Amino acid sequence: MNNAASPSENSPSLARPGELISVIRPAMATEFEVLMPADVDREAPEIALEALEWIRTLEGIFSVYRSDSDISKLNREAADGPVRVDPHLFKIVQQAIAISEATAGAFDITAGPLVDAWGFTNRSGRKPSDDELAAALQAVGYKNLELDAEEQTIRFKQPGMRINLGAIGKGYALDQAVAMLVTSGVENFLIHGGQSSIVARGSRRPGEPGWPIALSHPIRPQRKLGRVWLQNESLSTSGSGKQFFHYRGQRLGHMIDPRTGWPGGDLLSLTLIAKVAAESDALATGLFVDGMQKATQFVEANPGLGIVGVAEVDRSSEVEVVAVAIADERWEPFQQSSRDLD
């Protein structure tokens, strides 16, 4: 995610017994997968395939790595005047701005210049000069996005701006795919994009409270920290467990706070549960840079959300795991240092 984790980083792993059907397609620089019980209707796998193909269509609209995509055209032209965009691009930008407002700017789809300035775009982290940081901050700010709902246009009010949907695009695409599956009558399934963005509907098996998701250690992914049951919800994980460098004794990760221009947060990873994936993706990013205390306050003030924060202990491989607003019967910590907050 940008300001975000890469698709494979800090990912939950999916418990999958042998009786599941899997449908997989590549998109958005990762693999999207639908898992369904083997006793689903015969048409369900084909419906899942159509849903995943639709995600690939959305990639053609949202990808900044395709010069012919709608978002690339927008980034080239919107500083010169309003640009009419695809309805899905307009809608996702609207959603992103709403979450920016809700998080007081901790989430911001215009933060790309800051990620560049810190060298994280090409995975060579470095501290930028004061002038470089100031120039990048000039080009960042969701409040400089001007939307016209009637004309379906977007304009950049500041030169040098650009949009990157890496921290919300997978979630939006998953929500679209979920809607297709549900509308077609598929009731029990799990769909994910690179395992860092997950939506679960119904249950894995009759009598189970949803789908079990194992959360991994941010730095040592072979270690599982706990398991959460997900049902009719989404789960997203953001973190900086792998992309970071040390500066004057301080660990600086690639999750940039768009308000200050500096790497934010006091966690290795943050997993967030919400009702829809676009929201869980974006909030996981914004609340990560806000830190655990503010993330806890946000979740407690917004019913229907839950988080699991993973913090480093004394620059060692040991971590503290804190679950907030997740019912005891849904969250099972696997290590003694875990603790739960209601």
DSSP 222-255: TSEEEEEEESSEEEEEEE-SSSEEEETTEEEES-
> Residues 62-113: pLDDT tens digits?
999 999 999 999 999 999 999 999 999 999 999 999 999 999 999 999 999 9
This prediction's pTM: 0.91
Does domain 195-333 match CATH 2.60.120.380? Answer: no
Q: Whats the size of the chain, residue-wise?
A: 342
Q: Given pLDDT bands bounded at 50, 70 and 90, which one contains residue 14?
A: low
Give per-residue burial for 91-118: e unless 16+ CB within 10 Å, then b: ebbebbbebbebbebbbbbbbbbbbbbb
| pLDDT for 174 | 99
Known binding-site positions for Mg(2+) = 167, 281, 285
Do 324 and 283 contact (CB within 8 A), yes or no?
no
Q: Which CATH architecture has domain 65-156?
A: Orthogonal Bundle (1.10)
Non-local (6+) Cβ contacts of 161 within 8 A are 78, 79, 110, 139, 140, 141, 144, 145
Known binding-site positions = 167, 281, 285
CA distances (Å), 32 to each of 141, 174, 200, 283, in order? 31, 9, 13, 21
Q: What is the DSSP letter of 94?
A: H
Non-local (6+) Cβ contacts of 125 within 8 A are 118, 119, 243, 244, 245, 252, 254
> Residues 16-33: pLDDT tens digits?
555 899 999 999 999 999
- Quote the CA–CA distance of 245 and 224 in Å, as a whole number: 25
The domain segmentation of the chain, as residue ranges, is 65-156, 195-333
- Quote the CA–CA distance of 274 and 257 in Å, as a whole number: 22
> Residues 167-196: pLDDT tens digits?
999 999 999 999 999 999 999 999 999 999
Domains 65-156 and 195-333 equal at CATH topology level? no
* Over residues 120-125, mean pLDDT: 80
